[in-house]
Chain A
Amino acid sequence: MKIKFNRKMIGSVIAAIAIYAVIAILILTGILPRSMQSLVVKISYYVVLALSLNLIVGFLGDLSLGHAAFYAVGAYAGCAFALYSGLPLIPNFIISLLIGGISAAIIGFLISCAILKLRGDYLAIVTLAFGEFIRSIVKIIPGLGGTKGLTGVPSFDRFEGFTFGYAVVIIVIIILCNFTNSRHGRTITAIRDNAIAAESVGINIKRYKVLVFTVSSFMAGMAGVLFGFYKTSVEPADFTYNVSIEVLVMVVLGGMGSLKGSVIAAIIIVALPELLREAAAYRMLIYAIALITMMMLNSSPKFAALKAKALDRLYSVRESITAVFKRAK
């Protein structure tokens, strides 16, 4: 097998290892305070949620307000397995992760088949309903603990939590980078840009929509398992539509179709309220304002032009800096 290594890839690998090492040292030496340590784990599953939703909203261009459904299915399926399997922690987590992901993918597949004909606002409303529907179903399935949910899920220590969370984030980033740069990923962006043209070159739109929802819910399911192991319990109240909205805010703030943006926005949105404890009460209000502002700005051509100009200037500055460096060499 031929693996192509290029500079960019090596750079990313080094960066990933470096970030891991730094945070690991901070945790192990106790420099990072306890509250911050758990924050690191929380960030990891939110990053996965934001990345996976970005595939639907940013790359495919469909507005889904039901992401919490897939997250819930993953969390419940994975944690139920973990509770009843009695395996040692690490294999238990890995198998639960897969079970959570696959269960969520199956539900994602079924739901997407049901909503194929819907677009825009209708799709948003129906996915929102599906989110709440799954939450109510979970309450009445025997063995899942009703409204109290599942408790006593095996738990990580902080360091393990961070390590596994980090590993899942990296895996999801690799999946998404490779997926979006494959023929399937290109097709999805093509559908977003112009559905009629996509059909004219022989693209079966429905098949790809189902594919996107399935892949996306697989990842959201894994986030659910991470969450369950982090919190050591899952209950229906963890998966209200607020979660879906919160994740959507991350995607929109980070930029539709930008993986980097989703990661950064998720980190900021999870970390900020913890850092500014007093502001936490206004969190939803701040999200709403930020979301509406971004949507208004993004749909205004003037703002887009402004942004493009700013970026151009940034690039030219960067180019002149590298040019100076080259000359200095």
Chain B
Amino acid sequence: MSNTPMLKVENLGITFGGLKAVDNLSLSIEKRELYGLIGPNGAGKTTVFNLLTGVYKPTTGTFCLDGEELTGKNSVEINRRGIARTFQNIRLFGQMSVLDNVKVGLSNSAHYNVFEGILRLPRYHREETEMNERAMSLLSVFGLDGEYAYKASNLPYGKQRKLEIARAMATSPKLLLLDEPAAGMNPNETAELMETIRFVREKFDMTILLIEHDMKLVSGICENVTVLNFGTVLASGKTDKVLDNPKVITAYLGE
């Protein structure tokens, strides 16, 4: 069974009042692969993430995670089955501490119930300690352990993006979806982030689907890419070949 792809998308599509935001998308991502999804503004990249995480229900097509069909399921269920994501416009729990943001992601891995929580029974203490340790070790992967007590909204922009990844990782996903994780970062921060993403893949054997605007950045770390344009696949395959494709170059540079 080792050759079941981690994610298999077939003919996925969605229409918003006549606009085909995503049309007939098919792609397949192997386990432990770092896969890129690129395309100009408004191409439908974020919409693909919203489809894969159950924010929108697809009008056509299906997708399977590790052989299990998830089409039509809601966000909560999809996350529990193993897809976690970050957002293009950062969505942290702003008033909560950095540590608590990650612990919210770990919440479903704990089992103590409301009464055990209110009465502080042994399982509460045991699982809270465990969560603290796991959250701190995740934070240290992203270099955020020093700021664990900060309010999330007080973090600088780059660190907020990293915290979002840490929170997504806390749900122990099989597939991680990153929506423009380097947006708004300077070149140094971007380079460092790419290192972190690679490290996450190695350390957690993670499969990652990455949306990126910057083609150079994608070619640096993704084995395969799919290029979207106006909701349809323009090209797909090995990164270097796709990026040399004249159609892709015109789409990016304009007619």
The reply to whether A179 and B118 form a contact with Cβ atoms under 8 Å apart is: yes
Give complex CA distance A304, B127 in Å. 36
Is A201 interfacial (CB 8 A cutoff)?
Answer: yes
Is B84 interfacial (CB 8 A cutoff)?
Answer: yes
The reply to whether B95 and A186 form a contact with Cβ atoms under 8 Å apart is: no
Contacts of A31 in B (CB 8 A): none
The reply to whether B117 and A179 form a contact with Cβ atoms under 8 Å apart is: yes
Is A151 interfacial (CB 8 A cutoff)?
Answer: no
Query: Contacting A197 at CB < 8 Å: which of B87, B125, B128?
Result: B87
Query: Contacting B112 at CB < 8 Å: which of A183, A189, A211?
Result: A183
A211-228 vs B, CB cutoff 8 Å, 1 = contact: the mask equals: 100010000000000000
B96-119 vs A, CB cutoff 8 Å, 1 = contact: the mask equals: 100011011101101010100111
The reply to whether B131 and A183 form a contact with Cβ atoms under 8 Å apart is: yes
The reply to whether B112 and A202 form a contact with Cβ atoms under 8 Å apart is: no
Is B167 interfacial (CB 8 A cutoff)?
Answer: yes
Stretch at the interface among B5-13, B23-31, B75-83, B231-239: B75-83
Give complex CA distance A2, B129 in Å. 13
Query: With A2-B125, A179-B114, A183-B112 given, is the CB distance from A197 to B91 under 8 Å?
Result: yes
Give complex CA distance A93, B124 in Å. 31
Contacts of B127 in A (CB 8 A): 183
The reply to whether B84 and A203 form a contact with Cβ atoms under 8 Å apart is: no
Is A314 interfacial (CB 8 A cutoff)?
Answer: no
A238-256 vs B, CB cutoff 8 Å, 1 = contact: the mask equals: 0000000000000000000
Give complex CA distance A190, B94 in Å. 9
Give complex CA distance A188, B165 in Å. 21
Give complex CA distance A211, B113 in Å. 11
Query: Contacting B119 at CB < 8 Å: which of A4, A178, A193?
Result: A178
The reply to whether A203 and B114 form a contact with Cβ atoms under 8 Å apart is: no
Contacts of A215 in B (CB 8 A): 114
Nearest CB in chain A to that of B95: its residue: A193
The reply to whether B118 and A201 form a contact with Cβ atoms under 8 Å apart is: no
Query: With A186-B104, A199-B76, A200-B84 given, is the CB distance from A178 to B120 under 8 Å?
Result: yes
Is A187 interfacial (CB 8 A cutoff)?
Answer: yes
The reply to whether A184 and B114 form a contact with Cβ atoms under 8 Å apart is: yes
The reply to whether A182 and B53 form a contact with Cβ atoms under 8 Å apart is: no
Query: Contacting B92 at CB < 8 Å: which of A185, A197, A202?
Result: A197
Contacts of B125 in A (CB 8 A): 2, 4
Give complex CA distance A257, B93 in Å. 14
Nearest CB in chain A to that of B83: its residue: A200
Tell me the smallest distance from the CB of A308 to a CB of chain B, in Å.
10
Number of chain B residues whose Cβ lies closer than 8 Å to a Cβ of chain A: 41
Is A115 interfacial (CB 8 A cutoff)?
Answer: no
Is A198 interfacial (CB 8 A cutoff)?
Answer: yes
Tell me the smallest distance from the CB of B68 to a CB of chain A, in Å.
16
Query: Contacting B104 at CB < 8 Å: which of A2, A4, A201, A204?
Result: A201
Query: With A186-B103, A198-B104, A202-B108 given, is the CB distance from A175 to B118 under 8 Å?
Result: yes
Give complex CA distance A55, B171 in Å. 26
Query: With A190-B96, A193-B96 given, is the CB distance from A201 to B167 under 8 Å?
Result: yes
Contacts of A189 in B (CB 8 A): 93, 95-96, 100
Query: Contacting B121 at CB < 8 Å: which of A1, A4, A187?
Result: A1
Contacts of B168 in A (CB 8 A): 200-201
The reply to whether B118 and A178 form a contact with Cβ atoms under 8 Å apart is: yes
In the complex, chain B residues 122-164 whose Cβ is within 8 Å of any chain A Cβ: 122, 124-125, 127-128, 131
Contacts of A190 in B (CB 8 A): 93, 96, 101, 104
Contacts of A268 in B (CB 8 A): none
Is B170 interfacial (CB 8 A cutoff)?
Answer: yes
Is B85 interfacial (CB 8 A cutoff)?
Answer: yes
Is A284 interfacial (CB 8 A cutoff)?
Answer: no
Is B43 interfacial (CB 8 A cutoff)?
Answer: no
Is A12 interfacial (CB 8 A cutoff)?
Answer: no
Give complex CA distance A262, B46 in Å. 42
The reply to whether A200 and B96 form a contact with Cβ atoms under 8 Å apart is: no
Give complex CA distance A18, B174 in Å. 54
Give complex CA distance A197, B85 in Å. 9
Query: Contacting A186 at CB < 8 Å: which of B75, B96, B114?
Result: B96
Give complex CA distance A200, B87 in Å. 10
Is A6 interfacial (CB 8 A cutoff)?
Answer: no
Give complex CA distance A179, B117 in Å. 6
Is B70 interfacial (CB 8 A cutoff)?
Answer: no
Contacts of A183 in B (CB 8 A): 103, 107, 110, 112, 117, 127-128, 131
Residues of chain B at the chain A interface (Cβ within 8 Å): 53, 55, 74-76, 79-80, 84-85, 87, 91-96, 100-101, 103-105, 107-108, 110, 112, 114, 117-122, 124-125, 127-128, 131, 167-168, 170-171
26 contacts between A and B (CB under 8 A): A1-B122, A178-B118, A179-B114, A179-B118, A182-B114, A182-B117, A182-B128, A183-B127, A189-B93, A190-B93, A190-B96, A193-B95, A194-B92, A194-B93, A197-B167, A198-B93, A199-B76, A200-B79, A200-B87, A201-B170, A202-B79, A202-B80, A202-B107, A203-B76, A204-B76, A215-B114
Q: What are the nearest 3 A-B pairs in CB distance?
A: A182-B117, A202-B79, A197-B91
